[in-house]
Amino acid sequence: MGAVRPNEESFAVNATAGNLEALEASLLAEIAAASDEAAIEAVRVSALGKKGSVSEMLKTLGAMSAEERQVKGPAINGLKNRVTEALTQRKAELKDVAIAARLAAEKVDVTLPVRQSPAERGRIHPISQVIDEIAAIFGDLGFSIAEGPDIETDHYNFTALNFPEGHPAREMHDTFFFQPDEKGERKLLRTHTSPVQIRTMERQKPPIRIVIPGKTYRQDSDATHSPMFHQVEGLVIDKTANIANMKWVLEEFCKAFFEVPSVKMRFRPSFFPFTEPSLEVDIQCDRSRPGEVRFGEGSDWMEILGCGMVHPNVLRYGGLDPDEYQGFAWGMGIDRIAMLKYGMPDLRAFFDADVRWLTHYGFRPLDLPTLFGGLST
């Protein structure tokens, strides 16, 4: 700010001490009385504007003697500072009041509900979730995921898997057939995921480590059987893979899948046309609590999968020499292990798309099964 020049013309104000006091008192009163920003501005102009009362006082300083100025100067400037400060303070007060009033007016009822996020509303079907869990576990063990067609030939579904023509094991499969074609060949709906074993062997030389999830079909329907269901199959072929390795893989899987630190498994000799030796596997569990199964504890056994060393004939059908290559395979029901792990009572509900069931048993879209984050949360 530049020096204030004396204004000879308007030298009408007499800056006596009494005047100053009266002016200050009146101005401060006006400031205090100002109820909005416009009123404050009016006071400011009347005091500090070009022709304002305080400004006029200041102008008288120029005409004073040095001695007088020495006395009056600080008094007038003091007045000016105090008025300015009062103005600033009142202005801030008024602003706070205005904001408070606006905020009060803007108040809403925050208990009003908001819409749920779509990501919380959507659901992943338990079958997809369990397939992702399986992929996470076996991916970590060095397996890749293979798939194959639902509509198969007799060759891939039976013959190449060492089901002899007319063998009772073939009949036990309750196969869905299509109408025969001109050549009399009839396609079928695969009764297991095992045809993919052959398709993979035809395409890829060992070492093979694959897991095959997919839809399978059998002409059977009740509370525990559905004409369409899901299986997951595993296949390991190299030059050394044996039953001891198979036990390890399956134990690792069961621990990881059921999310328990250890689990007892019972391997029983059994029969499947496509494996030799063949085994069925029971898993230790506790079923003493109604509607709940706990794994890794208890004294019950529950059958969960079949497995064995790939039958030499199956290796031959896949184009491999059974004296050079060997391996093991296993298969289990995805729906079944999903039901066991998550406690769904009825298989038929899997395919009904009842949104109440999906909401309850389904998984949130961002619940991605990972080994580092836990398969399920």
Partner 1 sequence: MKFTLSWLKDHLETDASLAEIVERLTAIGLEVEHVDDKAGLKPFVIAKVLTAVQHQDADRLRVLTVDTGNGKPPVQVVCGAPNARAGMIGAFAAPGTYIPGIDVTLSVGKIRGVESHGMMCSERELELSDEHSGIIDLPEDAPVGTSFAAYAHLDDPVIEINLTPNRPDAASVYGIARDLAASGLGRLKTAPVEAIPGKGATPVKVTIEAPELCPGFALRLVRGVKNGPSPKWLQQRLIAIGLRPISALVDITNYVTFDRGRPLHVFDAKKVAGNLVVRRAKDGEKVRALDGREYTLTPEMCVIADDNGVESIAGIMGGEHSGCDENTTDVLIESALWDPITTARTGRALGIITDARYRFERGVDPEFMVPGVELATRLVLDFCGGTPSEIEAAGYAGHKPMVVSFPLSEVKRLTGIEVPKEEVLDILTRLGFEPQGSGEVVKVTVPSWRPDIDGKADLVEEVMRIHGVDNILAQPLTSHDAVNGKILTTLQVRTRAAKRALAVRGMMEAVTWSFIPAKHAELFGGGQTALKLANPIAADMSDMRPSLLPGLIAAAQRNADRGIGDVALFEVSGTYEGDAPEQQRRVAAGVRRGTAKLEGSGRSWAGNAGPVGVFDAKADAIAALEACGAPVDRLQIEPGGPAWYHPGRSGTIKLGPKTVLGTFGEFHPKTLDGLDASGPICGFEVFVDAVPEPKAKPTRTKPKLELSPFQAVKRDFAFVVDRTVEAGTLVRAALAADKKLVTGVSVFDVFEGASLGEAKKSIAIEVSIQPVEKTLTDEDFEALAKRIVENVNKQTGGVLRA
Within 291-330, the residues that bind partner 1 by CB under 8 A are 309, 311-312, 326
Of the two residues 21 and 271, which places its CB atom closer to partner 1 in the complex? 271
- Interacting residues with partner 1 between 58 and 77 (CB under 8 A): none
How far is Cα 370 from Cα 328, in angstroms, rounded to an integer?
26
How far is Cα 225 from Cα 239, in angstroms, rounded to an integer?
37
- For 340-349, the CB contacts below 8 A with 24+ separation are 340/293, 340/295, 340/302, 340/304, 341/130, 341/257, 341/258, 341/295, 341/376, 342/126, 343/291, 343/292, 343/293, 344/126, 345/291, 346/223, 347/223, 347/224, 347/225, 347/226, 347/229, 348/223, 348/226
**Rg over CA atoms, the chain:** 44
Give the nearest distance from C-beta 196 to partner 1 in angstroms.
11
Select the span of 50-58, 79-87, 90-98, 180-188 touching partner 1 (CB under 8 A).
Answer: 180-188
Residues 18, 73 contacting (CB under 8 angstroms): no
- Convert residues 130-159 into a mask of x (bound to partner 1 by CB under 8 A) and - (unbound): --x--x---x-xxxxx-xxxxx--------
Of the two residues 81 and 262, which places its CB atom closer to partner 1 in the complex? 262
24 touching partner 1, by CB under 8 A? no
How far is Cα 375 from Cα 377, in angstroms, rounded to an integer?
7
342 touching partner 1, by CB under 8 A? no
Sequence-ordered list of residues with C-beta below 8 angstroms from that of 356, at least 6 positions apart, any chain:
none
How far is Cα 342 from Cα 351, in angstroms, rounded to an integer?
16
Q: Which of 219, 262, 370, 377 binds partner 1 (CB under 8 A)?
A: 219
Select the span of 36-44, 68-76, 106-114, 336-344 touching partner 1 (CB under 8 A).
Answer: 106-114
Select the span of 69-77, 80-88, 292-300, 358-366 touching partner 1 (CB under 8 A).
Answer: 358-366
- Stated as kind and residue range, the H or E segment containing 8 is none
Of the two residues 48 and 344, which places its CB atom closer to partner 1 in the complex? 344
Of the two residues 58 and 229, which places its CB atom closer to partner 1 in the complex? 229
Tokens of 37: 């920003």
Q: Which of 9, 183, 353, 372 binds partner 1 (CB under 8 A)?
A: 353
CA 324 to chain centre: 46
Of the two residues 31 and 236, which places its CB atom closer to partner 1 in the complex? 236
Total residues binding partner 1 (CB under 8 A): 91
Q: Which of 227, 319, 373, 374 binds partner 1 (CB under 8 A)?
A: 227
Place of tokens 């007499």: 14
Q: Which of 207, 286, 294, 296 binds partner 1 (CB under 8 A)?
A: 207
Helices 126-140 and 334-342, packing angle to 10 deg: 100
- Interacting residues with partner 1 between 108 and 127 (CB under 8 A): 112-116, 118-119, 121-125, 127
Alpha carbon dihedral 78, 81, 86, 89, in 10-degree steps, equals -140
Tokens of 177: 């057939």
- Interacting residues with partner 1 between 236 and 275 (CB under 8 A): 236, 238, 241-245, 247-249, 251, 267-271
CA-nearest of 149, 211, 150 to 175 is 150
Place of tokens 């009764």: 191
Of the two residues 44 and 209, which places its CB atom closer to partner 1 in the complex? 209
Of the two residues 8 and 222, which places its CB atom closer to partner 1 in the complex? 222
Give the nearest distance from C-beta 351 to partner 1 in angstroms.
6
Q: Which of 167, 203, 348, 360 binds partner 1 (CB under 8 A)?
A: 167
331 touching partner 1, by CB under 8 A? no
Of the two residues 12 and 119, which places its CB atom closer to partner 1 in the complex? 119
